[in-house]
Amino acid sequence: MIPLSIVVARARNGVIGRNGDLPWRLRSDLKRFKQITMGKPCIMGRKTWDSLPLRPLPGRLNLVLTRDSSFEAAGAVACESFFEAVEIAAEQAEEEGAEEICVIGGAALFELALPRAKRLYITEVDAEPEGEVLFPAFDESAWIEAASEQHEAGEADDHGFAFRLLERR
């Protein structure tokens, strides 16, 4: 089985989104996101798809979960269930030798993926922004921290942050 991984940036108060967008500008995190996800199938919710500045994410299979059977978007593969999305992603990952499937948000998708994910790439953003979209609460004791790197805000970053990698025990 190809493992599922979650890729998320979350603020100290759990916020991950505001008004259909990210509540910060963090160029360093966008670079990391690209490095982690490149060449791997990416599963996302329809609202996250809508929020992407550049659609589809190039060099990655873009799988978009929606209940709207008429949804069509160039470069996106629409899926009506998480199970279907994972199945298609796994086929593609096997064909292309990708080591994992990335679930890239938002909250609805993280909720679906958390019980099954083996890896959690989490950027802890040093901020407490307002926002109505939160990363679901989860039991961190079920995970081991495999890496953690603290970073000061770079020139194009609104805040400092830590890159963490958690692996399921």
Q: Site residues (CB under 6 A) for ligand NAP? A: 8-9, 16-18, 20-22, 44-48, 51, 65-68, 80-82, 104-109, 133
The half-sphere exposure of 146 on its side-chain side, counting CA atoms within 13 A, is 12
Note whether 141 and 101 are within 8 A (CB).
no
C-alpha dihedral sign at 14, 15, 16, 22: negative
The half-sphere exposure of 120 on its side-chain side, counting CA atoms within 13 A, is 27
Residue nearest to ligand NAP (CB): 106
Shortest distance (Å) from residue 134 CB to ligand NAP: 9
Shortest distance (Å) from residue 157 CB to ligand NAP: 14
In the complex with ligand NAP, the residue whose CB is nearer, 72 or 155, is: 72
Angstrom distances, CA of residue 87 to CA of 83, 93, 94 = 6, 10, 11
In the complex with ligand NAP, the residue whose CB is nearer, 24 or 169, is: 24
- Rounded to whole angstroms, the Cα distance separating 33 from 136 reads 20
Shortest distance (Å) from residue 97 CB to ligand NAP: 26
Shortest distance (Å) from residue 155 CB to ligand NAP: 21
In the complex with ligand NAP, the residue whose CB is nearer, 45 or 56, is: 45
In the complex with ligand NAP, the residue whose CB is nearer, 67 or 169, is: 67
